[in-house]
Amino acid sequence: MTLAETSLLEDPDCRIATAKPAVRERGGARDVIVPIPADFRLASGERLNQPNIVGRLHGRIGAPVVVVAGGISAGRFVHRTETNGLGWWSGAVSVRGPIDLSRFQVLAVDFAPGAEFLETPVTITTHDQARLLALVLTHLKIERVSAFVGCSYGGMVGLAFAELFPDWAEQLIVVSAAHRAHPQATAWRGIQRRILQFAVAAGHPEEGVALARELAMTTYRTAEEFHDRFETTAPQAAGGAYPVCDYLTARGQAYRTHTTPARWLSMSDSLDRHSVTPEAITTPVTLIGFTSDRLVPIDDIRELAARLPTLWRFVEAPSLYGHDAFLKEDAFVGDILRAAFKDIKA
């Protein structure tokens, strides 16, 4: 893979846990249940109809803390353990991995709103998510984190966190995210939301989630990957499924139980509502972008790089996998993470 340099497998359980005692596992992994104050309000003025924000600590207790955040379906299970199965980013977060759990303690949180607490959508921003993360850090008495690593939506939250709390993270690593949503990405997500709303109105909410997910999958990946993976064999009759349609249908059906219409609408809207001022960010930033990403075009990341006053490093690369490259290009992303963490004393 050639590089031009200028300086997530999805979580199988994206639901917020109900309040329960923190559980410690082998290797120090444990849940952290943090009450949301009664006076906490979203930027919209709305209240979250959930009592807690739930985080999870992975890795060596007492080690320097790294915050890791992923896409809208990612949550606190970032690393594979004996109880939660496959973590959404085990390719990066593991013992002796790029984010080495023998050197660091990783904190990941479940993004709000929690599906089980939500009957209607809420208007929530990436800055709101950053403020909720701050509640968890304050609860844990963590005054400084060695790094905030954010991918996709998590990268947006990382930028918002750095804008609100400039001294809380020693460095920010943003992968496949920019300072704003691109209008074309908003257009695609807007269609997904209208499909879902139509299905809910027709009495088929789960099918609406599945169809919205199918359309989303076509924006995560590239035409080149689809060309390589799928034949164009026609079905026996009009209305039948082509091979690529079978794949998308399976992905949509598998996703139906992982979210709800209200949560999907809330999180999808949050992506499009995202906006930070790059010039206001003083935390040192590493940016990683992929030239095949259609949801976060590389030109947007280049603009972000040009406007950041404390850019450390900007690396861009081609990939067959488009927006999902951060979940697929383990070696490439891993090398950059290792370089970013090599001088941190653990």
Catalytic residues: 152, 293, 323
Rg (Cα) of the chain, in Å, rounded? Answer: 19
Q: Looking at beta carbons, which pairs linking 16-24 to residues 24 or more positions away fall under 8 Å?
A: 16/50, 16/52, 16/53, 16/54, 16/110, 16/112, 16/113, 16/114, 16/115, 16/116, 16/117, 17/52, 17/54, 17/110, 18/52, 18/116, 19/51, 19/52
CA end-to-end span of the chain:
31
110 neighbors 48 (Cβ within 8 angstroms): no
| Two structure tokens written together for 26 | 């082998």
Q: What's the sign of the alpha-carbon dihedral 20, 22, 24, 28? A: positive
Rounded CA-CA distance 332/28 in Å is 28
